[in-house]
Chains A and B, each alone.
Chain A
Amino acid sequence: MVSLKKNIAISDSGFVFNPSNGDSFSLNQIGLDMLLQLKEAQSEEQVKAAIMAKYDIDRDSLDNDYYDFLKMLGQFKLLELS
């Protein structure tokens, strides 16, 4: 499973700060939930299960959104390089 960079700061309000390059981002609630799950969960399935438990979303749409979100995190250099 992909992992977030360890030094990324995430606030309760959805503000994200990358101290390696000074970039900051604002997330909406579902983005924040996804990021927190990515930080805490042990597997991709755990992340998706947590999101499906909280939000009314079908599995196919979640899969699409999940990979889009990861792609975006990668582009913004928020993921550890494997």
Chain B
Amino acid sequence: MKRTITIAVTGLNAIDSPGPGVPVIRALRESKEFDVHIIGLSYETLEPGIYMHDLVDKTYQIPFPKSGQEVLFQRLAHIHAVEKIDLVFPNFDAELFNFIKLAPRLEKELGVKTFLPTVEQFEARHKVNLNEYGKKHGIDVPHSKMIFSTAEIPSLASEFTYPVVVKGQFYDASIAYNAEQVATYFHKISAKWGLPVIIQQFIYGTEVNLIALGDGKGGTVGMVPMRKTYITDKGKAWAGVALDDDDLLNAGRELIAATKWRGGLELEYIKSSDDKYYLLEINPRFPAWVYLAVGCGQNLPEQWVKLAMGDEPTYFDTYSVGKMFIRYSWDMIVDLKEFETISTLGEL
């Protein structure tokens, strides 16, 4: 018999640059062990997941991360009072810090559990710290540098070979072929994501990504490597295929063992033409293509739930190679009344 649990999930923005919430919910709905009641947590009123009633039972708006932890806690406490939440499953980089900090309080005061990286793990893997992270754990990462003003751009030529990648601290990346282009992207990215802006050496090669779940003790619960086969103009995967790559799997396992990673993660690598792997980014949560892992036989969100509940997870050692995902868009017809309700009452 399945256990019934109520899980609050963020990341309902199934848009062209999608959040992982909807595929995470889809995975949880397919759980063989849990009968899930899903509470959506949204930031914007047009996040498609809010209106996907076959996936999300009820949605509540929550305050933006910049509102702070106390405001978030009060909102979650209110939602918990109504819905009796067992678990909260955050899916956005920008919100994770608040959820990580609140996790002990959520469990102690409300009995709401989660399974997130530690603050130290979260901060150490940050883009701005990736150079140090690579050195500490013996991982090849492209040389990178933080810059805080355009005055630092001319001196980049002594440290980097063009092209370079100009990155925001949370999101956004553009390839610049000269100093003028760096300046253009610096202004664009810093206006949106603040300072610093990260300059990273561009590495020629093939991008390969790895989704994984770490048990917090150094063990890897499951892991699937993927190559994007269709990429949107925002660099997001619109299609991808599961790979068979032992070197990549070993690199991922070693990183999880070395860091004792706790929770879901996505590792982004570039495989250079001489078959060397360079770690580009560590995203501290499941990616939006998480459902490919489910399709390959590893329901990682379900195992995440077991870890959060304090149960022993199922450790996967196989997956189906060559399985593909192909994303598609779909126009939902929504009654204005529903939009009005979420806009005015903050719940639907």
Contacts and interface: CB of A to CB of B under 8 A. Distances in A.
Contacts of B227: 21-22
A7 interface: yes
A9 B271 CA distance: 21
Interface in B300-348: 321-322
Interface in A4-37: 7, 9, 17, 19-22
B244 interface: yes
Contacts of A21: 206, 208, 227, 243, 245, 271
A21 B242 CA distance: 9
B229 interface: yes
Interface string B175-214: 0000000000000000000000000000000101000000
Main secondary structure of the interface of B (DSSP, over half): strand
B321 A19 contact: yes
B241 interface: yes
A7 B271 CA distance: 19
A17 B229 CA distance: 13
A19 B322 contact: yes
A32 B141 CA distance: 40
Contacts of B226: 22
Residue from A7, A17, A19, A20 whose CB has the most chain B CB atoms within 10 Å:
A20
A21 B229 CA distance: 10
B322 A20 contact: no
Contacts of B229: 22
A17 B245 CA distance: 13
A9 B243 contact: no
Interface in A28-76: none
Interface string B285-298: 00000000000000
Q: Which 10 A-B pairs have the closest CB atoms?
A: A19-B244, A22-B227, A22-B241, A19-B321, A22-B243, A20-B245, A7-B244, A19-B322, A17-B322, A19-B243
7 contacts: A19-B321, A21-B206, A21-B243, A21-B271, A22-B226, A22-B241, A22-B243
Interface of B: 206, 208, 226-227, 229, 240-241, 243-245, 271, 321-322
Interface of A: 7, 9, 17, 19-22
